[in-house]
Amino acid sequence: MIKLVAPLALLAAAAALNPAAHATPGGDIGTLPHGAYVCELPGDATGAAGIRQEGEGFTVINASSYRTPQGRGTYLLTGDLVTLTSGPRKGERYHRLSGNFLRRMNADGTDSALRCVRQVEKQPLRNIRLPPPRSRGGRPAPRPPRPRSRPRRTPPGNPPPPPPAERSFRA
């Protein structure tokens, strides 16, 4: 038993000392942020900053899947290289310049002019509870009174006061 454990311990120690043995050849494997990637070509100084290219964009839907109007497919992200591995865009490659910015690569591996940017939607601030405002002394500031949604009820046995126009004054 000891003869079997010693070689395994030696192998585990060697693997721990060589972290490159665990890395993927192209870099770490990852996924892109979910959302719609809109692709455009650069504009010029006299017009828009980018000229949108309809039909070039795609949407990352989950894990390593994407969707286009032509169908669904999968991609592989290794390091900064995104390769569409199946589906209607199979074989296309993109260089990831940042978390939300991709640039399509030419066949020779150089970056092309087409850039794809993930559209970030502004989410309305809903269901967010903010802490109560603090006064200068560090205690919570008093809350303003809440507006009443219905008129006050009079206790039973007491008649309601007459409206202001019907009041009579005795001299």
Q: How confident is the model over 35-93, as pLDDT tens digits? A: 999 999 998 888 888 889 999 999 999 889 999 999 999 999 999 999 999 999 999 99
Burial class (CB in 10 A: 0-12, 13-18, 19+), 75: buried
Contact call for residues 119 and 36 (beta carbons, < 8 A) = yes
Greater pLDDT, 155 or 103? 103
Residue 77 lies inside a defined structural domain of this protein: yes
Query: For position 151, what pLDDT does the model report?
Result: 64
DSSP 21: G
Greater pLDDT, 11 or 111? 111
Give the H/E segment covering residue 2.
helix 2-17
Confidence bin at 136 (pLDDT 50/70/90): low
Query: For position 118, what pLDDT does the model report?
Result: 94
Distance between CA 133 and CA 135 in Å, rounded?
A: 7
Query: For position 169, what pLDDT does the model report?
Result: 59
In the structure encoding, which two tokens stand for residue 4, read together? 């079997």
Q: Is the pLDDT reported for residue 102 higher than 50?
A: yes
Query: For position 18, what pLDDT does the model report?
Result: 45
Residue 86 lies inside a defined structural domain of this protein: yes
Confidence bin at 20 (pLDDT 50/70/90): very low
Residue 102 lies inside a defined structural domain of this protein: yes
Distance between CA 38 and CA 43 in Å, rounded?
A: 15
Query: For position 14, what pLDDT does the model report?
Result: 47
**Which of 27-31, 83-87, 151-155 is predicted with the least confidence, judged by mean pLDDT?**
151-155
Distance between CA 125 and CA 83 in Å, rounded?
A: 36
Residue 157 lies inside a defined structural domain of this protein: no
Enclosing domain of residue 46: 24-111
Residue 81 lies inside a defined structural domain of this protein: yes
**Which of 12-16, 55-59, 104-108 is predicted with the least confidence, judged by mean pLDDT?**
12-16
Q: Identify the CA nearest to 101 among candidates 47, 46, 50, 62.
A: 50
Residue 10 lies inside a defined structural domain of this protein: no
Q: What is the mean pLDDT of residues 4-25?
A: 49
Quote the number of domains for the chain.
Answer: 1
Residue 36 lies inside a defined structural domain of this protein: yes
Distance between CA 65 and CA 17 in Å, rounded?
A: 35
In the structure encoding, which two tokens stand for residue 3, read together? 């003869």
pTM over 0.85: no
Residue 52 lies inside a defined structural domain of this protein: yes
